[in-house]
Structure 1
Amino acid sequence: MSAQSELQLPTAMRVHPELVPVFEALAQRSSDPYEDIGATRARLHKLLASLPADRTGVRSERFEVPRADGSALMVEVYRPEDGAGTGSEGAGRALPAVLHFHGGGFAVGRSLPGQDRTALALCRELPAIVVTVEYRLAPEHRYPAGVEDCYRALEWTAERAAELGIDPARIALAGKSAGGGLSAAVTLMARDRGGPAVLHQSLCIPDLDDRVGAEEGAAAADVAEDARVTTRRSVQRAWRHYLPEGTGAADAYAAAARATDLSGLPPASVLVCDLDPMRDAGLAYARRLMDAGVPVTVRNVPGAWHGFELFAPDSRVAREMAAYWTGQLRAALYPVVA
């Protein structure tokens, strides 16, 4: 066994058995994706263009949402093709809505128009009208640009609910990674500003705390420094791009874990991955929500790293994770009435 293999052994031993071949095949990252954001975005665009999404049963329409300064925020509304939720007279029942905020470290991750795989899946499987938000990205647009865009999209969705065929009493926020962090932050903003009612916040592997990686000794230390996956250092780099230059500490709308009062928030589902450097922050936030009297369900995916499902989408572990995440949203948006 080589010296390098010996160093990697603790990580490999913790990886879920089904995921070990995938983990071992991961390439070492040759460069920091935040060193050249433009190149990283271009690679993602090329990859997405080569793998068109399945739009079966779903149609979408793009809208420009005016910001306070007169500029336009682009959103895309995905809806089932069966006519439900079109908002036209006699077209069918109003549907619940999910605002989906994409991940990508606040700097990348935007899907091609009409190609958001998560939105398409949720639209079909829940079913629901899904609004995806092309929020401004760092580092060109640092905090609070992105989260303010997401909040504006929530306002617009609630304002246009009747026209869009949305039940305004059933609007959920959902996102993975940075999108999960934005979901938590927008939920806080809606409470504090007296904004639209949010029925549920779905936080999947959420990026909630700018302090992750700032100190040594994280519980998942052996995997959190493996260059094949998201590390504590890469989490810190993302936050340095997102927060305004010279910022000493984030506020609650940048990093929801900084919020001192979590009372009065809507129910939440929190999903974390066992070998994710953001795991402990996610679990701590879930516990604080519970302590504040907020109904919370929590799930940890054992032996999985941050974003593993992108590399092993057909694995049982990934399918179970997706089923849980979707199931929690469905239970919130379609409550059983006794």
Structure 2
Amino acid sequence: MGFAEDRIDPQLRALLPVLPKVDVTDPPAFREAQRAQSAAQAAGAAPLPGVAVEDRTIPAADPGGPSAPDILVRVYTPTGTATGTARERGVLVWFHGGGYVFGDVAGSDRSCAALAVEADCVVVSVEYRLAPENPYPAALEDAYAALVWTAANAAELGGDPARIAIGGVSAGAGLTAALALFVRDKGGPALVLQLLDNPMLDDRVGTASAAAFTDTPLWSGPQARLGWRHYLGALHPDAASADSDGVPPYAAAARATDLAGLPPAYVAANEFDPLRDEGITYALRLLEAGVPVELHHRPGTFHGSNFLPGAEVSERARADMYAALRRSLGRPPGIRS
């Protein structure tokens, strides 16, 4: 069954006229339009409540590499008293959405501030490189560098290096899943959670939801295909002389054949989202591999609606996400403040 607007949650339906139209045919042009819109909105916005915000510039994974510039991370620290220990909180490394081709940390300010306050954690939001100018593996390299830096500097940030989660939305959630695989296989900081909100996981874009939802709000099957083409570059099956089976799981996590030994997962899938089926399938495969999974699917929702204001179903989605983070990042048993 395809998309029918009258089946969207009524409170979300009321927001449809003001939602942006996403078109990643020309990613740099769309990116600039989005940044201009975000800047205009930020100019009249009130300060972020309940957090201290600091920008840091950190070394790339390969500091000597000619195509690996330093990475901007934005750190959000709750200004209230920590509930984890007397001075340490859990830490969430966060990756914004945008189909691997647009989005930035500034556009995630309010959602990251809310994550920090509601989950009582330090949030490190990462400005990873975007395609098509920087195709895979640039984003993964930046994600891994940011995670390693966060673990090494957690105490300075007021966080506990033993309580680190990674998470993101859309492409950022796909990057999160790929990073979890990379850390398991190559070694890296221990992770207590991978938070996957509407994850973009499968470059094959062959599910029933991807085929059905060609004109859904904020993201559609055709846009997902374009995003993957930009991100994979020469690896994409449509590229000249590309191997259709040559896409590694560190680029598209759904390609992984072995999911055992990964950190616990929180997975959110929305009904009218082309990425719905790949998220649910990945969650089930994690369960089959023995990985603890909390899976949520909400009727009447669409891609990206979990962070939209003014709808009770979105408030519930965020509340569940915050609760999962609090449980995963909370004070370990036996530790007293």
TM range (shorter): 0.7 to 0.9
How many angstroms apart in 1 are the aligned matches of 2:280 and 2:331?
Answer: 25
Q: Provide Cα deviations, 1:254-291, integer angstroms capped at 9, x if missing partner.
A: 11111111111111110000111111100110001000
Match of 1:69 in 2: 63
Match of 1:96 in 2: 90
**Residues 193 and 265 of structure 2 are in contact (CA less than 8 Å); yes or no, is this contact kept in structure 1?**
yes
How many angstroms apart in 1 are the aligned matches of 2:19 and 2:94?
Answer: 30
Structure 1 165/211 Cα, relative in aligned 2: closer, same or farther at 3 Å? same
Match of 1:147 in 2: 140
Are residue 225 (structure 1) and residue 219 (structure 2) matched? no
Look up the equivalent residue of 2:256 and give its one-letter code: A
**Residues 34 and 238 of structure 1 are in contact (CA less than 8 Å); yes or no, is this contact kept in structure 2?**
yes
Sequence identity of aligned pairs in percent? 42
1:1-338, aligned counterparts within 5 Å?
A: 11-23=4-16, 25=17, 29=21, 33-52=23-42, 54-67=47-60, 68-70=62-64, 71-82=69-80, 92-112=86-106, 116-212=109-205, 215=206, 218-219=208-209, 221-222=211-212, 224-226=213-215, 228-245=217-234, 246=239, 247=242, 248=244, 249-309=246-306, 312-334=308-330, 337=333
Structure 1 158/111 Cα, relative in aligned 2: closer, same or farther at 3 Å? closer
**Residues 220 and 275 of structure 1 are in contact (CA less than 8 Å); yes or no, is this contact kept in structure 2?**
no
Offset at 1:229? 4.2
Structure 1 219/59 Cα, relative in aligned 2: closer, same or farther at 3 Å? closer
How many angstroms apart in 2 are the aligned matches of 1:227 and 1:325?
Answer: 24
How many angstroms apart in 2 are the aligned matches of 1:26 and 1:80?
Answer: 31
Offset at 1:15? 2.1
Give the number of aligned pairs.
Answer: 317
Structure 1 63/220 Cα, relative in aligned 2: closer, same or farther at 3 Å? closer
Look up the equivalent residue of 1:199 and give its one-letter code: V
How many angstroms apart in 1 are the aligned matches of 2:324 and 2:38?
Answer: 28
The DSSP-based 3-state class of the residue aligned with 1:243 is helix
Look up the equivalent residue of 2:254 and give its one-letter code: A
Structure 1 211/26 Cα, relative in aligned 2: closer, same or farther at 3 Å? farther
How many angstroms apart in 2 are the aligned matches of 1:12 and 1:117?
Answer: 28
**Residues 199 and 266 of structure 1 are in contact (CA less than 8 Å); yes or no, is this contact kept in structure 2?**
yes
TM-score scaled by length of structure 1: 0.86
